[in-house]
Each structure stands twice: as structure tokens, then as C-alpha cells.
Amino acid sequence: MRIYIFIAILLGIIFLLSVTGILLFVRLTSSDQKPETKITQASTISGKFDINGVIPVGSVISVTKKEVGSVISEVSVKNLPAVDESTWSISGLTAGKTYEIIAQITVNNKTVASSSILTLTSPANGEKLVFNISGGSENQSAIISGNIQVNGYIPANSTISVFGKLTGESSYALFADKLPAKDRQFMSYIDAKAGAGYEIIGYLYDSSKNQIGSSSALMVTAPAVDELITINSIALAPTPTQSPSQASSSQVSPTPSSSQISGSIDFNGVAPTNSRIVIFQKLYNAPSYQLAVDNITPVDNSTWQWNSAKSSTWYNLIAILKQRNSNGTDTDIATSSTASVAAPGSSVVLTVNSNISIPAPTSTITMLCQGKIGNYWNAQLTIPYVTGALSYWYEVGTYSGGGNVTSTAINSSGTTNLLVTVQLNPQTAYYFRYAYANVANTAVGSSQFSPFSSNSQGNCGN
């Protein structure tokens, strides 16, 4: 009987040890399997500083970012020299996310000025952080200068006058008088007080001194350069005269002649698959918008023009980023703010912030050694097709993630895999990877590209 009890106990111990071993094996095996990491697209927001006023000696600039919706701010750039028109850049951001960017000028750790706040979707470039530094030597003269942009009809012999006043004062003084009324007219005021704040307005007058247009107020601190004053003319263009053969008592008065409104797109973020930008227009008091310009490529600084505007007419314009669905319908991804412009008009900038991010490719490059020519092997690389991709960026290097052999951007070949040929040294290990973009003619390093694929590896023989 004791023998049976002993055998039962022994079998129980063996069973427990077996179960424990299995559990430990499973645990160890699971610990070797790393959780899948979602690859996000790193991107950058960059631009210039526009510093108005007297810059204190020894001052530096820091730039702070905060993701919209978050309460956590982070100083991303420190101790940049406070120089007007100098550049700044914040890297390591997530493409498709929207950030609030603000900068501070400090002297001996004391803040003397804060910039305007920029709300931007990453990636973005060419953005401007504007400072107006109050105080300084107001006994010293300073210059306020820039350009005047006039939209709308400009009658012959029209002139522009510019008025300004110190911030807080009630009356304006004449800063510039009888400037020729033309687009991009330069103006300057040389008797401003350094460090003082000013409110500046431009007016458009016809040959009879009737006011036919005005700008919104420009708020700057002197000295200030490269400023922009925009005036929308309310003048009506003359009605075209009909030829005698066209004249008839039954005919209505001719409509205003056609004119052009043009500008560019300030595109921030990444373009989704099958997307485009469409501009819509409406008379400023009309109830609904109509199509103005279609099929604008969704990249930064794309230019556009609308040739069917009517001279001397005011319009509201908006830009919409649209993505084409498989059933032929569109989904609106992002909409710009409204621009109010009198025709003809130019240099109209419409800002679109895309909140889309695109993933890294899931497939990798394959390599086939085709034949040796001289001391090198010709190798064919197959870049797998990615749905919607219009351009690719591939890299070949002698180390993982390297592009020291080639780093090249190329347009897609339709909906098929892309084949490229590279020359490789024999008996050398090479690494291959690629990224894609949903717009064509994309340059190496563009923020429109996705993250890179995983590296693949290969080598050719002797």
C-alpha cells in the first residue's frame, strides 16, 4: 500500500514539474516576441522670425510647441540668436498632428517679447513667427517700410496715402502721400520712434480725391521692414462699349469684363491618397459657393489662378482638400479660412492644414543580380507598388538605413512594381529600403514621403 502511495506522490511531483516547465517556456517564448510598433512619420515645422522693434543686446529666442488638445508644452528650440529674418526649425514631430507654436525673446532669462501663436499641422515650412518688441530708445528714429498690394479695379491716376498713429493715440498722421496706385507699391516712413508701437492704414483715392478703398490696420513696432498692406478697391471698371453693329435697344447692358484672381497654397501636413485641392468662390453677399479652380496639387506653394472673376467685384474664396473615394465621391479632409478679395487680385494665400498621416510600406525591396560588367554587378531592385503612390524614394547603402550608395526619388510606373537598376560591388553586403508619396515629382527628403520600409539585404557574387 505504501508503495502505491509513494508512486502516486512521485507522479504528482513529475506532473507539477512538467506544468511548471511548460509555463516557463511559454513565458520565455512570449517575452522574446516584441509587441508590434506602429511606425509614425517624423516631420518638421520650420520658418523665419519677423522681429519688429529694437532687439536688446544679448537677447536669445526659444520656441515652444504644444499639441492641440494637450495641456503640456515643451521648449523645442533654445538660445537662438535674436536676429530678424533668421530661421527656426522643430523636428521629430508627428505628421498629421496639429501643434501650437510660440516663441519668446529673453534677456538674462527675462522675457521681453512673445510672438504671435501659429496653429499648424506638421509638416509645414516657410512659416513666420512675428515679434513686436515694445520699448527701447524712442529718441532714436527708425524706419517702417514694406509693400502695398491693391486688389480690384484701379482707375487711372489713382493714388495711395498711408496714415499712422502711435498705439493708444486717437489721431492719425500722414506717413506717405500720393504714391502711385499700383500693385506692390513700395512705401517707407523714416520718422518713426524706435521701440514705439504703431497702427497703420492705407487708403486708395481716385483722380478726384474720392476714397475708393482702404486696408485693415497693420500693427507693428518700429523699426519694421518687409511689411504688407493690402487694399481692396471698391471702384467699378468702366462698362465695355459696344460696337454700332452690336448695339440694339433690346440688348441689356454688358456685364463687367472678366479678370483674374491668383495666388498660392500654404499646404501644411501630408497629402492623402487620391487627393487634390479645390478652390470655391462666391460673391461676398451670395448664399452659396461655386467652383473656381479644380485639381490643384496638394503641395506647399502650389500656385493657382481663376480667370473668370468679374472686374470690380468682391469675392469670398476658400480652398478645400478633397480625397476621391472608390465610388467616385469626394471626402472633404480640410478647409482653409476665407479670403475676401476684389477682382482683379493677386498674391492671395490660402492655408490648408491636413491632419492625415500615411503609414510606412509593409513590403520590402527585393534584389536580383543580373550580370557582371567589368568590376561591378548590375542588380535589379523591385520596389513593391503601394496603392495610390505617385512617387518613391529608395536608398541603397552599405549599412542598415544607409543611403551612401544611392538616395533617389522617382515617379511611379502606374499600378505596377517599380524596377530600377543599380551597380554593386561584388561580395559586399547591401541594404535596401524605400518610402512613397501620394503626389508626383516629390524631391528626396520631402515631408510628403511616408516613413521608410524595413531594410532588406543582399549581395552579388565574385
Each residue of 215-228: pLDDT tens digit? 999 999 999 999 99
Q: Are 101 and 65 in contact (CB under 8 A)?
A: yes
3-state SS class at 209: coil
* Cβ-based burial of 430 (10 A; exposed 0-12, middle 13-18, buried ≥19): buried
pLDDT of residue 407: 94
Residues of the chain with pLDDT under 50: 5-6, 17, 19-39, 240-255
* Residue 21 pLDDT: 47
User: 343 — phi, psi (to 5°)?
Assistant: -90, 145
**How crowded is residue 421: how many other Cβ atoms within 10 Å of its Cβ?**
10
Cell 516613413 sits at which residue? 451
| Cis peptide leading into residue 223 (ω within 30°) | yes
Place of cell 512538467: 18
CA dist 190 and 162 (Å) reads 13
- Which domains are delineated in the chain? 42-133 (2.60.40.10), 141-233 (2.60.40.10), 258-353 (2.60.40), 366-458 (2.60.40)
pLDDT of residue 250: 37
Among the listed residues 305, 318, 306, 303, the one whose alpha carbon sits nearest the alpha carbon of residue 264: 303
Q: What are phi and psi of 229, to 5 degrees?
A: -115, 125
pTM of the predicted protein model: 0.71
Residues 6+ apart with CB under 8 A from 79: 60, 61, 62
- CA neighbor of 204 nearest in space, from 232, 227, 244: 232
